[in-house]
A and B are shown apart, each in its own frame.
Chain A
């Protein structure tokens, strides 16, 4: 190992954490697994895997239906997961927590219900240039259906969102601001509190895409000042197939239902159906019961850790990665905003991200290569694709070294 790199010493006991994640013990192509793609989907701790197994093997039945012990148990566990989510994001009430199949569905829900009911031709929705496709396309569908207008706040070359530039895009016609809390490509932490104030000053609502934010930042929805907050469970060390929409109670009351079906009704006759109260109003059909309980277990797991120490560990990983990557000749960091979470994109001169990812994989290093579901951002940054390393609480400084060393090997292969 090159001794010239001073490796930060973390007081966080990462070895202990890693022991909780069974997959981290495996090898890939004969090399120890170095998993640096947690921003796409995080690995799961034993506590989540066990919770899911326990439901299926001992406590499974449908919820909100049967008047028998197992169904009551499943219902209680499902609703307990809702309370865990409520407490995790400091929502006022569990009735503000809607379970969805993911963040994508949560955004589509807001667009299809709030959007269709309250936005009309000429109204403006403000997005930023850093958005994930899942926070662009639902609004385009809404635009095509209603004639509302999308306006895009620009991104600075370092990946920041400049509040003064943002203010120029917002105006009296703005009815909704829908932006990332943290960029999935650049790691930029957006100035969401200030943007929320700008939105509210013109009478607009603000929705935050919290897929990365919930993982890397302490989220208090009341403190953030937003009106909607969405995230997915699988990036927060929970199962796939579960997401959360939080919205202020008054908004959920005013919004029409999303899908019709069982569990979302009060009474049904062929002449007229009345809706259940939120959140049931937005949870038609059998919900992702086990996935919700698994998400609850992931939240329990995170609550069992010193989250300030976790945040410091991730920040140290990011700083070390930025330093090591920048020292490799031909590597250019993409996303160097002052306020960043542990996500780092980069490009390497003469080597396409796809080729890099292939070579890295043969060294056991998993990274994401491509446009990261953010093609407009790629265009704004003047690149077609990037390679992205994203860090979770289980990553180590040695894994950053493994990434840097594998990149040097990749240069030997590709250049």
Chain B
């Protein structure tokens, strides 16, 4: 069989880190004593991600978890999100949302990504940066941002969100 080499953008999208988190998602659970909860829907594909978090009185994400069914990109993004945000302040979580959003939509140069992601711990920054592969796949951007939209709804106390806003 004549097999063409895989395109670089496919390799960039489905890199090791993404597939690892997709197959072995971290914090894929309901946070038991959660203080907020929100579901994100992608009506285009039917994917759903529910984010639960326990926020302390001084505004820290004591615990954060997610449950859902989705593609490799949305599950990996959710998994890396929970990892990056555990123990972070709500303010930093919101800053990271903006950073990841800009990263996925291409609003921030690849070279400036790590700077933007600074609120996250160093090892999380590299992982989150791997989401930038979706830039070459416009219809997949919403897969990557779905759990982050759910997170913001969760922090805002809204129960539902959709990628079609």
Contacts and interface: CB of A to CB of B under 8 A. Distances in A.
A354 B71 contact: yes
B7 interface: yes
Interface residues of B, number: 24
Interface in B55-74: 69-73
A360 to B, nearest CB: 11
Interface in A202-226: none
A72 B69 CA distance: 57
Interface in A382-415: 384-385, 405, 409, 412-414
Contacts of A351: 72
The interface centre, meaning the residue of B71, B72, B137 with most chain A CB atoms within 10 A of its CB, is B71
A359 interface: yes
Interface stretch (A13-21, A37-45, A367-375): A367-375
Contact of B1 (A2, A363, A375): A2
Contacts of B7: 29, 362
B102 interface: no
B143 interface: yes
Given A2-B1, A378-B46, A355 B69 contact: no
B3 interface: yes
B140 interface: yes
Nearest to B139: A358
B137 A358 contact: yes
Most B CB contacts (10 A, CB to CB) among A351, A352, A371, A413 go to A352
Interface string B14-36: 10000100010000000000000
Given A413-B14, A414-B19, A384 B6 contact: no
B44 interface: yes
A31 B72 CA distance: 25
B131 interface: no
A230 B41 CA distance: 31
B92 interface: no
A355 B14 contact: yes
B9 A362 contact: yes
A405 B10 contact: no
B104 interface: no
A384 B46 CA distance: 7
Contact of A355 (B11, B46, B73): B73
Nearest to B7: A362
A369 to B, nearest CB: 7
B11 to A, nearest CB: 8
Interface in A342-357: 350-355
Contacts of B69: 384
B23 to A, nearest CB: 8
Contacts of A354: 45, 47, 70-71, 73, 140, 143
Contacts of A271: none
Contact of A352 (B1, B6, B9, B71): B71
Interface string A277-289: 0000000000000
A1 interface: yes
B117 interface: no
Residue of A358, A362, A413, A414 with most partner-chain B CB within 10 A: A358
B96 interface: no
A413 B46 contact: no
B13 interface: yes
B45 A385 contact: yes
A369 B47 CA distance: 11
A359 B1 CA distance: 18
Contact of B6 (A370, A371, A413): A413
Contacts of A378: 46
Contacts of B137: 358
A372 to B, nearest CB: 9
Given A2-B1, A358-B140, A413 B10 contact: yes
B48 to A, nearest CB: 8
B45 A355 contact: no
A384 B41 CA distance: 12
Nearest to A374: B46
Interface string A236-277: 000000000000000000000000000000000000000000
Contact of B72 (A29, A369, A414): A414
A370 B1 contact: no
A162 to B, nearest CB: 26
B61 to A, nearest CB: 27
B72 A359 contact: no
B10 A362 contact: yes
Interface string A70-111: 000000000000000000000000000000000000000000
15 contacts: A31-B4, A350-B23, A352-B70, A354-B45, A354-B47, A359-B10, A359-B14, A362-B10, A369-B45, A370-B46, A371-B45, A409-B3, A413-B10, A413-B14, A414-B19
Interface of A: 1-2, 29, 31, 350-355, 358-359, 362-363, 369-371, 375, 378, 384-385, 405, 409, 412-414
Which 3 A/B pairs are nearest by Cβ-Cβ distance? A352-B71, A354-B71, A371-B46
Given A29-B7, A350-B23, A414-B72, 10 more contacts: A354-B70, A355-B14, A358-B10, A358-B140, A359-B14, A362-B9, A371-B46, A378-B46, A385-B45, A413-B6
